Structure 1
Amino acid sequence: MAAAVPHLMTLADLSAPQIHRILVHSHYLKQISLPWLQPGKLWKQKPSQSLDKKTVALLFSKRSTRTRVSAETAATLLGGQALFLGKEDIQLGVNESPRDTARVIGGMCQGIFARVGDHSEIEELAKYSPVPVLNALSSLWHPTQILADLLTLHEHAHLFSPNNVTEYKSIDDKRWTALPELRPLTVAYVGDSANVLHDMLVTYPRFGHSLRIASPENERYRAPKAVWDRVVELGCDKKIWWGADPKEAVHGADVVVTDTFISMGQEAEKEERLRDFQGYQVTEQLCKDGGANPDWKFLHCLPRKPHEVDDEVFYGPRSLVFPEADNRKWTIMSLFE
């Protein structure tokens, strides 16, 4: 019997050790690659060419900056090619089904990295694809974002544990830092229950982190049943607090996270959502009033709007948003390998 094709829909599909191995490999690939990419420098070790002569189809029905750039540059570094297929480029959604599209693309490419609308679309692609399908974003889940977030927190572990000691490993006579250990954190999320939060819910608690979430008292802003069932199945609910008060959510927080209040496709709800999320903007004052830890740090998946977080926080010393964006590349590169 042929082995099942490995797909990734959400980090809930992976065990904690599997996720940790991805993070370790991402950290290693980053250290291997960055010196090699420096202009004018000769570096004998270059990244593995594991995608040599191979093609990864980037099947994107939604626009993207970080996901597209990171996937294309990651595939190139591994010796392969990323083939971008936007919704205007192919027949999918016009006169060809996801089933037929998956079979055709999977017959010519060695992997599919899909950024879709409704989660059912990527499930159908995975059901019929003869090659691995990785979820680049869907209505329910965003696994690659949370891998980048975790890598960023590990790399900045010294900010949360000043006595953290860097461990070195030798590879081909070069010294590389091991993935820094990260103590259990309290992570606050202030905003809508969307795909980024959903993968946080099924991942952070399995690494010992506590989640404190604030969203308006309305079912539309809470985790859908399909997501919460996975949360409970993995036992993650025991380390999650969920309420409506942002100040209460940030109490004791080491990290504060927010995301868009208006996802793509929700533009018609903009005015209503902005009213519902009044008071949810992440600011120094909010976190001071709520009792966040004095050295709290900030994450956002981007793109950011000022009503989600003000400039003082977003561009200030607490912000890790740009290292977080950079790490999309290395975690996607690790998944491609």
Structure 2
Amino acid sequence: MKHLLSIEELTREQIEKIVDLAILLKKDRKASPQVLAGQQWALIFTKSSTRTRVSFEVGIRELGGQVMFLSGADIQLGRGEPIKDTARVLSRMIHGAVIRTFAQQDVVDFAKYGTIPTINALTDDEHPCQILADLQTIKERLGGWEGKRICFLGDGDCNVARSWIWASARLGFELVIGAPKAFQPQETFMSGVPAGTVRVVDDPVEAVKGCDVLYTDVWVSMGKEAESADRIETLRPWQINDTLLKQAKPDAIVMHCLPAYRGKEITDEVMEANADIIFDEAENRLHAQKAVIVEIVQQAS
């Protein structure tokens, strides 16, 4: 494992190893292995962030490294200088790159032409770090994902939903994508996914029946602001509220990758009732990402 570009590229064994290591790293942060001692890593973000930036900065430092932050104003990823040239230049100066941007191809090209570990911290296509943290949370709370039914509600064609689909394909748990037809995974994407991986449902009550985990994300992702009013109106029936939650298993947990827009994709009441889980999930970004870095560095040595 030289890079983390997508859940699609990971094997079952790699995912399980990262999740197990993340749980161990969480138990004693002071004992974090200093695998990045003497190294300088760069966070290259053309999309703004709170949790991703903080968790990676803290994680890299806890692993003994130094970190610099480069925003869209500092580096024009994919605009002006070609990605392959940027990757070659930075590879001679830093030891690893964490990239949060729009196009998945930018991250792929950076990894291809660079000579340093490259981590996808979010693109429009995938959000692998989030799903690894989510899987860690489910293992901590439910003992694992085997035999569990997970339901993603809302925009079923977003980056988080796509990464969940690949996680299901690799790990074999039951995944339901609950979304109105206009927001269901595109056929061009699903054509590359193994048959039987996911069940797509266009009725919210049917979607959550028998589910162990209800998961949602923002309805208006960055870059979709012009569609805000239409999205909110179409997705309103898919809000996680007390009424919908009663249709799932009695002990079902609710997860949200944050930021949460209370009153839209989730009610304030449900958010608060599941706050311990949701904010554990947020914290686990730190531990899962540290596990990814440790795995990459150790395999390279």
Q: Tell me, which stretches of 5 or more residues in structure 2 are unaligned?
A: 295-301
Corresponding position of 1:43 = none
Q: Which amino acid aligns with 1:145?
A: Q
Q: Helix, strand or coil for the counterpart of 1:108?
A: coil
What is the aligned-residue RMSD (CA, Å)? Answer: 1.7
* CA deviation after TM superposition for structure 1 residue 226, in Å: 5.4
Does 1:241 pair with 2:182? no
Corresponding position of 2:261 = 305
Does 1:98 pair with 2:60? no
Corresponding position of 1:284 = 242
* Distance in 2 between residues matched to 1:90 and 1:96, nearest whole Å: 9
* CA deviation after TM superposition for structure 1 residue 95, in Å: 3.1
Corresponding position of 1:227 = 189
Change (3 A) 1:131 1:138: same
Percent of matched pairs sharing the same residue? 36
* Distance in 2 between residues matched to 1:204 and 1:93, nearest whole Å: 31
Q: Contact 2:180 / 2:234 at 8 angstroms: preserved in 1?
A: yes
* Distance in 2 between residues matched to 1:183 and 1:319, nearest whole Å: 23
The structure in which a higher percent of residues are helix is 2
**Larger Cα-atom Rg:** 1
Structure with the greater relative contact order (CA < 8 A, sep ≥ 6): 1 or 2?
Answer: 2
Change (3 A) 1:181 1:198: closer
Counting only pairs closer than 5 Å after superposition, residues 141-152 of structure 1 correspond to structure 2 as 141-152=126-137
Q: Contact 1:297 / 1:318 at 8 angstroms: preserved in 2?
A: no
Q: Tell me, which stretches of 5 or more residues in structure 1 are unaligned?
A: 37-45, 158-179
TM-score (structure 1 length as normaliser): 0.82
Corresponding position of 1:26 = 22
* Distance in 1 between residues matched to 2:2 and 2:187, nearest whole Å: 25
Corresponding position of 1:172 = none
Give a deviation string over 1:294-333, Cα, whole Å, max 9, x none: 1110011000112000011111047611000000000100
Pick from 142, 147, 154: which aligns with 1:191? 154
Change (3 A) 1:321 1:56: same
Change (3 A) 1:94 1:280: same
* Distance in 2 between residues matched to 1:246 and 1:320, nearest whole Å: 22
Change (3 A) 1:267 1:299: same
Q: Helix, strand or coil for the counterpart of 1:277?
A: helix
Q: Which amino acid aligns with 1:20?
A: E
- Segments ≥4 residues shifted beyond 6 Å: none
Pick from 209, 212, 215: which aligns with 1:257? 215
Q: Which amino acid aligns with 2:153?
A: V
TM-score (structure 2 length as normaliser): 0.92
Q: Which amino acid aligns with 2:98?
A: F
* CA deviation after TM superposition for structure 1 residue 52, in Å: 0.3
Q: Which amino acid aligns with 1:309?
A: I
